[in-house]
Amino acid sequence: MQLEGTLATFPLRELIEMVIYSSVTGVLEVQSGSDIGQIYFRDGRPYHAVAGEHSGIMAISAMFELQDAPFRFVSERVSVETTLWMDPWDMLEQAQEQARQWQYVRRFIPSIEHVPHLIGTLAQSQVQIPETSWPVLAMIDGHRPITEISRQLNLVLLDTCLALAPMIEQKLVVIGPPRPIVAQATPNSSLAADAAATEAGGFLERLLADAQAQEQQRPDLTDERAQERKQVYRYVDDRR
């Protein structure tokens, strides 16, 4: 089986269905710029997919977003990897739905590395977002990128973006690229030394005061114990 063309002529879903019904073994390749997405089939059943940094159903979802990309099917080519296990028809429905959701998200979020910022305060805004989106809203601090918010909340990246998109649409949140990190000047060494000395002096003051307080609470010390404590006071005074 040899087949090639563009997705404008043969939509991806129709191609996948054709391969499934034909029960053939090989790989369906879809080109997007310099990247090539691949879906491997064994006897018509998809068992592995890769597209850029994505694999499995996410790779197929990424390929569903392509509208006019060239494709070709190469028979008998196989892969040693397996990233697809679910029913092919359920896989198609889920991949297409994810593609639609990503298309919606990208209207508001051009990059998952961007950083969301709150506009004003929550009290000044009429917030109309689902309860499930509040954890994402609470993580917005103007410094964390979307990927970090998703990681810290242990959320799928798509779910994090789906929570942010309505906030951006309601103008509660704006996003932008990360701000460059400005290196802070190293403190003057003499100032740092003075600060350290002051801190050390304060510590010794507290140490001496504590020792004197304990002495006052123990008036019945023997002469030998009293001499030991005097040595402590003398040591502290010398260090000051």
pLDDT in tens, 162-218: 999 999 998 899 999 988 766 555 555 455 444 444 443 444 444 445 555 555 555
Query: Is the CB of residue 236 less than 8 Å from the CB of residue 212?
Result: no
CATH number of 115-176: 1.25.40, 1.10.10, 1.10.760, 1.10.20? 1.10.10
Residue 57 carries which side chain, given as an amino acid letter?
A: I
Nearest to 30 by CA among 95, 118, 85, 86: 95
Sign of CA dihedral 12, 15, 21, 22: negative
What is the pTM assigned to this prediction?
A: 0.69
User: What residues does CATH 1.10.10 cover in the chain?
Assistant: 115-176
Share of residues in the chain with pLDDT > 70 (%) = 71
Do residues 69 and 10 touch, judged by C-beta distance below 8 A?
no
Position 48 scores a pLDDT of: 98
Q: Is the pLDDT of residue 1 over 80?
A: no
- pLDDT for res 182: 61
